[in-house]
A and B are shown apart, each in its own frame.
Chain A
Amino acid sequence: MKSHLLSTGDLSRDDALLILDTAEELARVSQRSIKKLPTLRGRTVVNLFFEDSTRTRISFEAAAKRLSADVINFSAKGSSVSKGESLKDTALTLEAMGADAVVIRHSASGAPHRLANWVRGSVVNAGDGTHEHPTQALLDAFSIRRRLGRLDGLKISIVGDVLHSRVARSNVLLLHTLGAEVTLVAPPTLLPVAVESWPCQVSYDLDAVLPKSDVVMMLRVQLERMNAAYFPSAREYSRRYGLDRDRFARLHDDAIVMHPGPMNRGMEISAEVADSPRSTIVEQVGNGVTVRMAVLYLLLGGSEPAIGGAE
């Protein structure tokens, strides 16, 4: 394993499988009444969040605490950052405090890469701008494998605002590495220029793609996008690219529906689809903690076995 997790593009197939397999082991521990492991006792994990994201932060916090790490939550709001401190100075401060890992969420693409130049500890990208969100992709892969038993050869459709989605970028790279066939589905305005250079297929037609899909991953679409003319209205977006009951019925029986959250119910996904048994949306949240435990363990735990002597 490398010393940072910045992009799923940096993960080999073996790296990725090691994370998923480790998560699988750790998931078994989560079934116990006492969920805590001593593995990272004495280690310090800093959650450095420049963007509000309660979901992701508490997921990392729970993961680190279940491994007995000390957790420091550093929120940019009301901190020295809001007084104009640079990312570099924040990094040097954390470094001086002896952070073993820094989990960073930032609105600027590449901020974790910059941070990695200035700290000795491991940097985990918890979402950077419109670039990547590697642990989200890992938990998605983990959730798919748990439901469908494999990733190799699966047809996975990712639907929505690919242009601005860090989830889509991380998933395309990771799922391709793990042998899945990814198709991106979006209106042309919400696909990046040069998307044809990505290791995936591209379609503008959700209805054509759905019957062939084993997994349909819906992306959050921000309503303010229509002000920048990415699409005319929420209604039209929903009609062309929303996963409603009729479209859901066209999926084959084993296909599953995913969403990284938070959802716009009624926009990209209807409530009954989101709440159906074939939706993995709630278990994705639980799997998030497990996968983040695996990532922190592999980055910080060195060569000791994941479960240690706690069995």
Chain B
Amino acid sequence: MSAYDLHEGAVTTILIRGARILGGAPRDILLRDGLVAEIGDLAGADAGQTIDAAGLVALPGLVDLHTHLREPGREDAETVETGTQAAARGGYTAVHAMANTSPVADTAGVVEQVWRLGQESGHCDVQPVGAVTSGLEGRQLAELGAMADSAARVRVFSDDGKCVSDAVLMRRALEYVKAFDGVVAQHAQEPRLTEGAQLNEGEVSARLGLTGWPAVAEEAIIARDCLLAAHVGSRLHVCHVSTAGSVEIIRWAKSKGWDVTAEVTPHHLLLTDSCAETSPLGPYNPIYKVNPPLRTAEDVRALREALADGTIDCVATDHAPHPVEDKETEWAAAAMGMIGLETALPVVQEAMVETGLLDWAGVADRMSARPARIGRLAGHGRPIEPGAPANVTLYDPSVRRPVDPTAMASKSRNTPYEGMTLPGHVVATFLRGRPTVLEGKLV
């Protein structure tokens, strides 16, 4: 907790009335001094503020393992301030800020800068991710220990956006981070197999004449990394798993008892490569260009099942803001990535809850508890029970509404869900007892 004391200030006591914790029976929740104080029928409780949460689902504050906040370097796309506002609006109380900024977060100085910016923003906790290699160049290890020992206490290391494709470097990174209980989060993409790659290699890419991004380029790296992690007895996390074949490999690695975890993005749970061809927004619309690419309906099915059965541990947004001019282009010229913090929970409701694959306890596990555990964030992902840090999200799953990019807190507008109708709506978010969002609006 000491790392996050800056914003505790004058803590109010808040009584949440009638919330359904993990979708269960209505209960009152009293938040006091940054903690969950009491749960039960607390009608007469003394509270500075009372919030009517009738019909709302209470979840532990969401934790994102994979966010691009773009600061420093691309403040035109997002800043720590706007990105954490988007996170709070999406129900998140902690995000992991990816290292591919400019300068790259590959030194203690840069990760501490990002960490401090997060502290100042106060909308959610920002846990910097450190680069695995200097400058993301894949040639020599960054100073992983210095980042681990810094004020930012980095535990997740990733060259995300680029793959640590050199097998020796990957092995050494996996070994080295064991000294401080770190984890390497791999962006699995064999670079030679994906030169110039634009879209999942398959029927759609063949028709559209776009250079294919074959599933095997992801799967080959995941298989190699699982074997390496097993060989050196280290912890591996696989970023944005996108194919049915990757799921099979991870399932196999877990069956061996190896310490492998994996994430899936909301967009890979909902969208397919056919969006590039048949979307109402027109063919070749780069709003759907993302890395790894959108895959097939069969992959989507496998990813949903894997998230449901726990083969894939968690949902991570890969929130990737880009300014308009980087998307209003030819497909090949466009930037890769889509924003996702403010739509993650609605997409997961649509893909996993409405389909009966996960209940709200499952959602809490995959979007809060497990990502917090993988990222070693002790103050997050805890069950809503007396004594736990008061990180709570109140969510109304009963509404359905069209996605409106202009209403988002993110500085960028590159959401692939524009015009789609999605369920659910984050009503309130509490970070250690302090509301960051109330009535759907930033506090």
Q: Which residues of A contact B (CB under 8 A)?
A: 9, 86-88, 106-111, 113-114, 116-117, 128-132, 166, 169, 192-195, 197-198
CA distance A197 to B211 in the complex (A): 17
Is A194 within 8 A of B203, CB to CB? yes
Q: In this assembly, does B54 line the interface, its C-beta being within 8 Å of a C-beta of chain A?
A: no
Partner of A108, one of B207, B328, B330: B330
Instruction: Provide the residues of chain A in CB contact with B331, threshold 8 Å.
Output: 108-110, 114
Interface centre among B198, B202, B214, B283 (most CB of A within 10 A): B283
Q: In this assembly, does B28 line the interface, its C-beta being within 8 Å of a C-beta of chain A?
A: no
Can you list 8 A-B contacts with CB-CB less than 8 angstroms, sorted by A residue number? A86-B328, A86-B329, A108-B332, A129-B210, A193-B201, A193-B202, A197-B206, A198-B206
Is B330 within 8 A of A197, CB to CB? no
A111-B282 contact given A128-B209, A194-B202, CB 8 Å threshold = no
CB proximity to A under 8 Å, residues B329-359: 329-333
Q: In this assembly, does B166 line the interface, its C-beta being within 8 Å of a C-beta of chain A?
A: no
Q: In this assembly, does B5 line the interface, its C-beta being within 8 Å of a C-beta of chain A?
A: no
Give the size category of B's interface with A: 20 to 34
A131-B209 contact given A109-B331, A193-B201, CB 8 Å threshold = yes
Nearest residue in B to A196 (C-beta to C-beta)?
Answer: B203
Q: In this assembly, does B176 line the interface, its C-beta being within 8 Å of a C-beta of chain A?
A: no
CB distance from A75 to the nearest CB of B (A): 17
Partner of B209, one of A116, A166, A193, A194: A166
Is A88 within 8 A of B206, CB to CB? no
Q: In this assembly, does B258 line the interface, its C-beta being within 8 Å of a C-beta of chain A?
A: no
Instruction: Provide the residues of chain A in CB contact with B210, threshold 8 Å.
Output: 109-110, 129-131
Is A114 within 8 A of B206, CB to CB? no
Instruction: Provide the residues of chain A in CB contact with B329, threshold 8 Å.
Output: 86-88, 114
Instruction: Provide the residues of chain B in CB contact with A114, threshold 8 Å.
Output: 284, 329-331
- Interface contacts (Cβ under 8 Å), in number, total 74
CB distance from B330 to the nearest CB of A (A): 4
CA distance A275 to B325 in the complex (A): 49
A110-B284 contact given A128-B209, A129-B209, A193-B201, CB 8 Å threshold = yes
CB distance from B249 to the nearest CB of A (A): 20
CB distance from B413 to the nearest CB of A (A): 15
Is B283 within 8 A of A113, CB to CB? yes
Instruction: Provide the residues of chain B in CB contact with A132, threshold 8 Å.
Output: 209
CA distance A143 to B352 in the complex (A): 55
Partner of B206, one of A107, A116, A194: A194
Is A110 within 8 A of B214, CB to CB? no
Is A129 within 8 A of B284, CB to CB? no
Nearest residue in A to B325 (C-beta to C-beta)?
Answer: A86
Interface string of B236-252 (1 = CB under 8 A from A): 00000000000000000
Describe A's contact surface by its main secondary structure.
mixed
A109-B209 contact given A87-B329, A114-B284, CB 8 Å threshold = yes
CA distance A193 to B217 in the complex (A): 14
Instruction: Provide the residues of chain B in CB contact with A195, threshold 8 Å.
Output: 206
Is A111 within 8 A of B330, CB to CB? yes
Instruction: Provide the residues of chain A in CB contact with B212, threshold 8 Å.
Output: 192-193
CA distance A156 to B282 in the complex (A): 32
Instruction: Provide the residues of chain B in CB contact with A197, threshold 8 Å.
Output: 203, 206-207
Chain A to chain B: the 9 pairs with minimum beta-carbon distance, closest first = A110-B284, A131-B209, A192-B206, A108-B330, A130-B209, A109-B209, A194-B203, A108-B332, A197-B203
A117-B282 contact given A129-B209, A194-B203, CB 8 Å threshold = yes
Instruction: Provide the residues of chain A in CB contact with B11, threshold 8 Å.
Output: none
CB distance from B297 to the nearest CB of A (A): 14
Instruction: Provide the residues of chain A in CB contact with B205, threshold 8 Å.
Output: 192-194
CB distance from A133 to the nearest CB of B (A): 10
Interface centre among B201, B325, B329 (most CB of A within 10 A): B329
Q: In this assembly, does B47 line the interface, its C-beta being within 8 Å of a C-beta of chain A?
A: no
Given contacts A86-B325, A86-B329, A109-B208, 5 further A-B contacts (CB under 8 A): A87-B333, A130-B211, A169-B209, A192-B205, A193-B212
CA distance A193 to B202 in the complex (A): 6
Instruction: Provide the residues of chain B in CB contact with A108, threshold 8 Å.
Output: 330-333
Instruction: Provide the residues of chain A in CB contact with B328, threshold 8 Å.
Output: 86, 88
Instruction: Provide the residues of chain B in CB contact with A193, threshold 8 Å.
Output: 201-202, 205-206, 212, 214
Interface string of B194-231 (1 = CB under 8 A from A): 00001001110111111110100000000000000000
Instruction: Provide the residues of chain A in CB contact with B325, threshold 8 Å.
Output: 86
Nearest residue in B to A106 (C-beta to C-beta)?
Answer: B330
CA distance A132 to B277 in the complex (A): 14
Is B214 within 8 A of A129, CB to CB? no
Instruction: Provide the residues of chain A in CB contact with B202, threshold 8 Å.
Output: 193-194
CA distance A192 to B199 in the complex (A): 13
Is B332 within 8 A of A129, CB to CB? yes
Is A110 within 8 A of B333, CB to CB? no
Nearest residue in A to B202 (C-beta to C-beta)?
Answer: A194
CA distance A106 to B207 in the complex (A): 17
CB distance from B213 to the nearest CB of A (A): 11
CA distance A108 to B289 in the complex (A): 14
CB proximity to A under 8 Å, residues B163-199: 198
Nearest residue in B to A195 (C-beta to C-beta)?
Answer: B206
CA distance A197 to B202 in the complex (A): 10
CB distance from B378 to the nearest CB of A (A): 46
Partner of B208, one of A116, A117, A131, A198: A131
Partner of A110, one of B201, B203, B206, B330: B330
Partner of A87, one of B201, B207, B330: B330
